[in-house]
């Protein structure tokens, strides 16, 4: 694709604006790269937050499951003790 002059001092090359100022070409690619890096940084932060939240939920679920299991085991132990006491009386 050939560079096309769109207006005045701006030349559009493959959809990337290039300015011709005082004999120098200044590419807008740097701005595109900076915007991409910022977007990537934002996505990374969001992913870290989601990962942290998911890990916290897994921890909470494991603690809940442990607590429930512990209660069941204690209840069974109490029941078993009660049955043994009744059997001893009989």
More confident residue, 88 or 68: 68
CA dist list (Å): 75 to 26, 57, 62, 65, 85 = 76, 27, 20, 15, 15
Please give the average per-residue pLDDT across 74-85, as a whole number. Answer: 81
Q: What is the pTM of this model?
A: 0.47
Tell me the DSSP string of 21-73.
Answer: ETTEEEETHHHHHHHHHHHHHHHHHHHHHHHHHHHHHHHHHHHHHHHHHHHHH
* pLDDT at res. 48: 92
* pLDDT at res. 3: 46
Among candidate residues 54, 50, 51, the one with its CA nearest the CA of residue 62: 54
Among candidate residues 52, 56, 75, 76, the one with its CA nearest the CA of residue 64: 56
Lowest-confidence pick of 9-18, 43-52, 72-81: 9-18
Residue carrying the six token digits 């429930």: 68
List the domain boundaries for the chain: 4-89
């Amino acid at each position: 694709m050939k560079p096309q002059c769109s207006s005045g001092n701006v030349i559009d090359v493959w959809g990337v604006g290039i300015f011709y100022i005082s004999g120098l070409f200044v590419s807008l690619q740097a701005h595109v790269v900076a915007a991409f890096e910022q977007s990537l940084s934002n996505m990374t932060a969001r992913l870290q937050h989601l990962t942290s939240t998911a890990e916290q939920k897994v921890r909470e679920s494991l603690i809940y499951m442990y607590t429930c299991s512990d209660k069941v085991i204690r209840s069974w132990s109490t029941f078993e003790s009660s049955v043994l006491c009744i059997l001893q009386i009989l």
